[in-house]
């Protein structure tokens, strides 16, 4: 009998499914300083995961700035490739830098793409006391004297924030968009701080990263780069299209993970991010921060990022940023 029970126990242990993956120390890297869009994505999704009981304990947020997200990307690929507890905030800025070869030696297939959590439409804003009140006024100033207007953004030169203002300028009839003076900072928070300090005349960023400064009344949004007005707190701001400048700039927001992450961990994180997206809490966060729907998970998200990298490569060549 003992021998039979022992044999049965061995059989059960051999055939029983392994326990589902669960992170022991969940962490989200925001590849910029606090206050920007990547930081927002990590902190808000991390908080929702905690509130919904999708992770044990808390989600630690680590800010690693530099290179338009390149420092963090390289660190994940070279130093934390098999870390299954780690997710990293990403956006159109990430695919832009990858498209332009701005992460030296790095490609999109070195990491695993998890899921999106929405689309963040671009904005162009000025300080609250600025005499500029519309996007055409700003573009007229640039046409008259390109060097008299500096525009700050939270991505590197050639990054997504830079591309947005170039696309708006081209739509406004500015022939040589490369003449526009763009000043890059490590994250949208720092870029807005420089706007408030008077170092630059305008700011290009995304709705979510500008939300706090809009609420405080420190900045004045002169254009939203959306096909139509956003809902919620951003409903009062005009689109560029309303003002005769036909440009749309949508910044997707989502996450990637280390390339060596196990399949069990990958499935866990795709599922957890998906449950956040489906929650009422996240719907409210989206409404409050100006995020538009974009629900892509796993393979569908990977294909979306690949298409984004390809299309941004084409745009960058067209305006002379890459050969």
pTM, entire model: 0.74
Opening angle at CA 202, ends 284 and 172, nearest 5: 95
Q: What is the pLDDT of residue 252?
A: 93
**Residue 187 pLDDT > 90:** no
Q: What is the mean pLDDT of residues 182-205?
A: 94
Mean pLDDT of the chain: 90
Tokens at 31, concatenated: 């590849």
Interval 91-127: pLDDT, tens: 998 998 999 999 989 999 999 999 999 998 999 999 9
**Residue 13 pLDDT > 60:** no
Interval 210-236: pLDDT, tens: 888 998 999 999 999 998 888 878 889
The correct CATH number of 121-250 out of 3.40.50.720, 3.30.2320.80, 3.40.190.10, 3.40.50.1820 is: 3.40.190.10
Q: What is the mean pLDDT of residues 167-192?
A: 91
**Residue 19 pLDDT > 50:** no
- Fold that domain 27-119+251-318 belongs to in CATH: D-Maltodextrin-Binding Protein; domain 2 (3.40.190)
Interval 40-63: pLDDT, tens: 999 999 999 999 999 999 999 999
Ranges of each domain in the chain: 27-119+251-318, 121-250
Q: What is the pLDDT of residue 3?
A: 45
Q: Categorize the per-residue pLDDT at 290 as very low, low, confident or very high, splitting at 50, 70 and 90.
A: confident
**Distance, CA of 57 to CA of 196 (rounded, Å):** 37
- Burial grade of 186 (CB within 10 A; 0-12, 13-18, 19 or more): buried
Q: Are 208 and 234 in contact (CB under 8 A)?
A: no
Interval 30-43: pLDDT, tens: 999 998 889 999 99
Q: What is the mean pLDDT of residues 137-165?
A: 93
Q: Are 37 and 91 in contact (CB under 8 A)?
A: yes
**Residue 287 pLDDT > 90:** no
**Lowest mean per-residue pLDDT among 209-213, 259-263, 272-276:** 209-213
DSSP class of 68? G
**Residue 208 pLDDT > 70:** yes
Q: Is 298 helix (H, G, I), strand (E, B) or coil?
A: coil
Q: Are 163 and 100 in contact (CB under 8 A)?
A: no
Q: Are 311 and 90 in contact (CB under 8 A)?
A: no
Q: Categorize the per-residue pLDDT at 323 as very low, low, confident or very high, splitting at 50, 70 and 90.
A: confident
Q: What is the pLDDT of residue 207?
A: 86
Higher pLDDT: 9 or 157? It is 157
**Distance, CA of 297 to CA of 301 (rounded, Å):** 5
Q: Categorize the per-residue pLDDT at 288 as very low, low, confident or very high, splitting at 50, 70 and 90.
A: confident
């Amino acid at each position: 009998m003992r021998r039979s029970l022992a044999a049965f126990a061995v059989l059960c242990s051999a055939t029983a499914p392994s326990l589902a993956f669960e992170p022991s120390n969940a962490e989200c890297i925001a590849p910029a300083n606090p206050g920007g869009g990547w930081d927002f994505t990590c902190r808000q999704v991390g908080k929702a995961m905690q509130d919904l009981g999708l992770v044990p304990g808390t989600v630690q947020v680590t800010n690693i700035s530099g290179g338009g997200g390149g420092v963090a990307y390289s660190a994940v690929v070279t130093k934390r490739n098999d870390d299954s507890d780690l997710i990293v905030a990403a956006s159109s800025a990430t695919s832009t830098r990858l498209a332009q070869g701005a992460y030296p030696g790095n490609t999109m297939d070195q990491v695993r793409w998890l899921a999106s959590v929405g689309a963040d439409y671009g904005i162009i804003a000025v300080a609250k006391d600025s005499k500029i009140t519309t996007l055409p006024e700003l573009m007229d100033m640039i046409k008259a004297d390109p060097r008299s207007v500096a525009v700050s953004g939270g991505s590197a030169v050639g990054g997504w924030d830079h591309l947005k203002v170039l696309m708006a300028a081209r739509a406004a009839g500015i022939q040589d968009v490369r003449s526009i003076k763009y000043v890059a900072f490590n994250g949208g928070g720092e870029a807005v701080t420089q706007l408030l300090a008077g170092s630059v005349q305008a700011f290009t960023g995304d709705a979510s990263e500008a939300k706090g400064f809009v609420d405080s009344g420190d900045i004045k949004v002169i254009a939203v780069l959306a096909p139509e007005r956003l809902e919620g707190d951003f409903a009062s701001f005009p689109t560029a299209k309303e003002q005769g400048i036909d440009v749309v700039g949508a910044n997707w927001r989502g996450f990637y993970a280390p390339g060596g992450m196990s399949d069990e961990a990958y499935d866990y994180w795709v599922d957890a991010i998906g449950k956040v997206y489906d929650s009422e809490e996240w719907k409210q966060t989206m409404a409050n921060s100006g995020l538009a729907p974009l629900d892509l998970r796993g393979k569908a998200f990977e294909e979306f990022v690949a298409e984004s990298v390809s299309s941004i490569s084409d745009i960058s060549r067209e305006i002379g940023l890459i050969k």
